[in-house]
Structure 1
Amino acid sequence: MRRRCPMLSNKVSEIMTTNITTASVTASVFEVMEKMVAEDVGRIIITDDEVPVGIFTEKDVIKRVVNAKIDARNSAIKKVMTAPIRAVREETHIIDAFGKMYRGKYRHLLVRGRRGKIIGIVSMRRILNLAVELGQGLSETTTLGDIAAGSVIKIDQAANVHEAIDLMNTKSVTAVIVTAAGKPSGIFTERDVLKRVATKEIKIRETAVKQVMTAPIITMPRSTLVGDVLAEMYHRDIRNMPVKDEHEEITGLVSMPEILQFARALNIDEQVRRTWKEVAEFLDTEDQYTPG
């Protein structure tokens, strides 16, 4: 019988988040985005008569709203939400919930109580955060430089917001580095799109990306251990970490997919272990839940 490490023998009910942000299926896209900003969340559960029927995420904002010519104020959220929802029972072991996330290609699972009512939500991100808190599972030798993407997607700060978002969609990335005269001046992320673009109703073809980017850039050196990087990302509540070399040049950008590939907190069978390499692929698809 396969031996489970103590963390993974726990039930999802022990690590789930019970404070779930929801919105009615009759709400407009704009109303839902405003609520996400007000409550500082990257995803929101959509309900019909208090029953969860879908989820709407920052990735949906960037792919299905901003550059898709959607009238956010007059379009119902049900037109752009991801459905149906996925859920596990509260007694499900963390390891089994994680396996379901792999097979289903999504990052979050809702948790059902004994009477079938949704009582919480659990995420891949939460599981890895727990691993960091326990000091388990991440390689003691793998560094940021080992896992950073080989090329960094950049855009000049004079480019407009529409061009930046289009680039993010085309390259399937969650962030781009913004440059001035070839030098990094900021970063533009999915969170920026939600907070500074979609809910502000700015003219994306007439607004320079430098006006809505995040600055200054937080970076970490290539020599930083992966576990330390993940801990720092959680501490600062950021989802993308630019990588700098010995010359202080940004040479890579690490996001949750790369971190997940090298996490070893999940002491699971070889079949699941081999699927680590697939994480980056399915995390970039639009038919899944985002981290938050």
Structure 2
Amino acid sequence: MPSSKGWREGALTSIYDIASKSVVTVNPYDSLALVRELMIKHSIGRVVVVDGGRPVGIITKKDVVRFLAADDSDRSLIEIPASEVMSVGLITVKPDVDVKDASKLMLKRGVSSLLVVGEGGGLMGIATKTDVCRYYGEMCRGLFKVRDFMSRDVIYVKPLHSMFRIMNLMVKHNISRVVVVDEEFRPIGIVTSTDLTFYMSSLKPVKHAAFESLPSSIIMTAEDVMTKNPLTIGEDEDLSEASRVMVDRRISGLPVTGVDGRLTGIVTKTDIVKATASIK
């Protein structure tokens, strides 16, 4: 297994060093409307809920979608408190934990972020998979190739597979992206859970006669929802390059292709975290 020997001098080691110090927070009684506004304003996927300076919960985009899909009340977002939507099983670390051990904790607990807290439990920062990827891209060039950590069992669909098929695949395999391929197995698009969020409201049954005559063209397919011409990376590329591209382009996964351009796998931020956790 490659070691960290050869990293440029002064490489960061503690999770606090790579964590974001300016954490976007709300109070438990703040509204979901404010949470949404902050996510959009700061282009972030999670907001920490604090009470008296201490973290008591976290709200991710998935939490919001899950809550709204199940909520049968007539309340607007401004009437829903953050405390109803937040997840309370917080995973925290001390600031002196190193990046490798923090990466192992992310993988073990199946989370995308860790809250960095001080001795008194006060919030000091938040470290996400993106922060680990940024660290790997800057500090770990030459350690691994993409093929060393990419997933070869790629979940894919054809352009005319329905949106419902895509959602079923995401739920069944617990994934947040599906690659769309053409007849020659070349990636032509990618559909993420974020892409589907826009259409969530249409999945709830509407009992009204007016909807019985809707044309079949309303059924969305992969080609209607997908991001076309997705960025790809070769399996022989350095893994740090994949990490850099994901951070720079604000994406969480890259289809991997062979020399013939056909899909051979996918590499994600989680794979970068796995690589970081494996470094000696």
- Same fold judged by TM-score > 0.5? yes
Q: Tell me, what secondary structure is at the counterpart of 1:254?
A: strand
The alpha-carbon deviation at position 166 of structure 1 amounts to 2.8
What's the counterpart of residue 86 of structure 2? 81
Q: Does 1:152 align with 2:130?
A: no
Instruction: Find the partner of 1:228 among 237, 241, 246.
Output: 241
The alpha-carbon deviation at position 23 of structure 1 amounts to 3.2
How many angstroms apart in 1 are the aligned matches of 2:137 and 2:127?
A: 16
Q: Tell me, what secondary structure is at the counterpart of 1:210?
A: helix
The alpha-carbon deviation at position 167 of structure 1 amounts to 2.0
**Unmatched segments (≥5 aa) in structure 2:** 205-217
One-letter identity of the residue aligned with 2:254: M
Residues 52-94 of structure 1 deviation map (CA, whole Å, 9 limit, x = unaligned): 21112244356x247x444584655444432132323334444
One-letter identity of the residue aligned with 2:175: V
Residue identity (%): 24
Q: Tell me, what secondary structure is at the counterpart of 1:218?
A: coil
How many angstroms apart in 2 are the aligned matches of 1:161 and 1:34?
A: 27
Greater CA radius of gyration, 1 or 2?
2
Q: Does 1:258 align with 2:271?
A: yes
Indicate how the Cα distance of structure 1 residues 249 and 97 shifts in structure 2: closer, same or farther if over 3 A, else same: closer
Indicate how the Cα distance of structure 1 residues 222 and 86 shifts in structure 2: closer, same or farther if over 3 A, else same: closer
Indicate how the Cα distance of structure 1 residues 112 and 163 shifts in structure 2: closer, same or farther if over 3 A, else same: same
TM-score (norm 2): 0.72
Q: Tell me, what secondary structure is at the counterpart of 2:40?
A: helix
Q: Higher mean Cα deviation, 98-107 or 166-175?
A: 98-107
What's the counterpart of residue 282 of structure 1? none
Residues 100-120 of structure 1 deviation map (CA, whole Å, 9 limit, x = unaligned): 445544342212246542121
What's the counterpart of residue 214 of structure 2? none
Indicate how the Cα distance of structure 1 residues 161 and 28 shifts in structure 2: closer, same or farther if over 3 A, else same: farther
What's the counterpart of residue 132 of structure 1? 137
The alpha-carbon deviation at position 259 of structure 1 amounts to 3.0
What's the counterpart of residue 191 of structure 1? 194
One-letter identity of the residue aligned with 2:257: K
What's the counterpart of residue 111 of structure 2? 106
Contact 2:16 / 2:116 at 8 angstroms: preserved in 1? yes
Aligned residues: 255
Q: Tell me, what secondary structure is at the counterpart of 2:236?
A: coil
What's the counterpart of residue 172 of structure 1? 174
The alpha-carbon deviation at position 150 of structure 1 amounts to 2.5
The alpha-carbon deviation at position 255 of structure 1 amounts to 1.3
| Cα root mean square deviation, aligned | 3.5
Contact 1:137 / 1:265 at 8 angstroms: preserved in 2? no
What's the counterpart of residue 60 of structure 2? 57
How many angstroms apart in 1 are the aligned matches of 2:100 and 2:236?
A: 31
Q: Tell me, what secondary structure is at the counterpart of 1:17?
A: coil
Q: Higher mean Cα deviation, 123-132 or 39-48?
A: 123-132
TM-score (norm 1): 0.69
Q: Does 1:123 align with 2:104?
A: no
**Unmatched segments (≥5 aa) in structure 1:** 268-292
Q: Does 1:90 align with 2:95?
A: yes
How many angstroms apart in 1 are the aligned matches of 2:225 and 2:272?
A: 27
How many angstroms apart in 1 are the aligned matches of 2:277 and 2:20?
A: 23
Q: Tell me, what secondary structure is at the counterpart of 2:39?
A: helix
What's the counterpart of residue 17 of structure 1? 20
The alpha-carbon deviation at position 264 of structure 1 amounts to 6.4
Indicate how the Cα distance of structure 1 residues 224 and 149 shifts in structure 2: closer, same or farther if over 3 A, else same: same
Indicate how the Cα distance of structure 1 residues 138 and 176 shifts in structure 2: closer, same or farther if over 3 A, else same: same
Indicate how the Cα distance of structure 1 residues 106 and 265 shifts in structure 2: closer, same or farther if over 3 A, else same: same
Q: Higher mean Cα deviation, 31-40 or 90-99?
A: 90-99
